[in-house]
Amino acid sequence: MTLLSFEDFLKVDMRVGRIIEAEDFPEAKKPAYKLKVDFGPSMGIKQSSAQITTTYSKEELPGRLVVAVTNFPPKQIGPFISEVLVLGIVLDDGRVPLLTVDEDVPLGLRIS
């Protein structure tokens, strides 16, 4: 494990967003969804790829508040550009529960 300074932690921009759309991503090497996540007026809508198909159906994802890293550079995943990294917990059985927010808060708020 690499230790980070508090200053390093502050460089990671994690924000709350709301999933507004989830669709299949058949071109991905591992089963995944293409997500559209709304981060509010300051950041707008960003897209992400998430390997969460064994944990969630695409129909149950819209409306969920999630936590995402928003300041990684965009990443090309096949024909898709992922702009943010939606965070989850990788379990031993391969499922990935998302890090969520349990209170309706303004979109785009920074996680600290």
Q: Tokens 């927010």, residue?
A: 101
Q: Average of pLDDT values for 77-100?
A: 96
Looking at residue 17, what is its pLDDT?
A: 98
Percent above pLDDT 70 for the chain: 100
Residue-wise pLDDT for 1-45, tens only, equals 889 999 999 999 999 999 999 999 999 999 999 999 999 999 999
Contact 47, 70 (CB under 8 A): no
Q: Average of pLDDT values for 78-102?
A: 96
CATH numeric code, 13-86: 2.40.50.140
| Strand-pair partners of 15 | 68, 110
What is the spatial distance between Cα 44 and Cα 52, in angstroms, rounded to a whole number?
Answer: 23
pTM over 0.85: yes
By residue count, the chain amounts to 112
Alpha-carbon Rg for the chain in angstroms: 14
Q: In the structure, what pLDDT confidence band is assigned to residue 112 with cuts at 50, 70 and 90?
A: confident
Contact 53, 98 (CB under 8 A): no
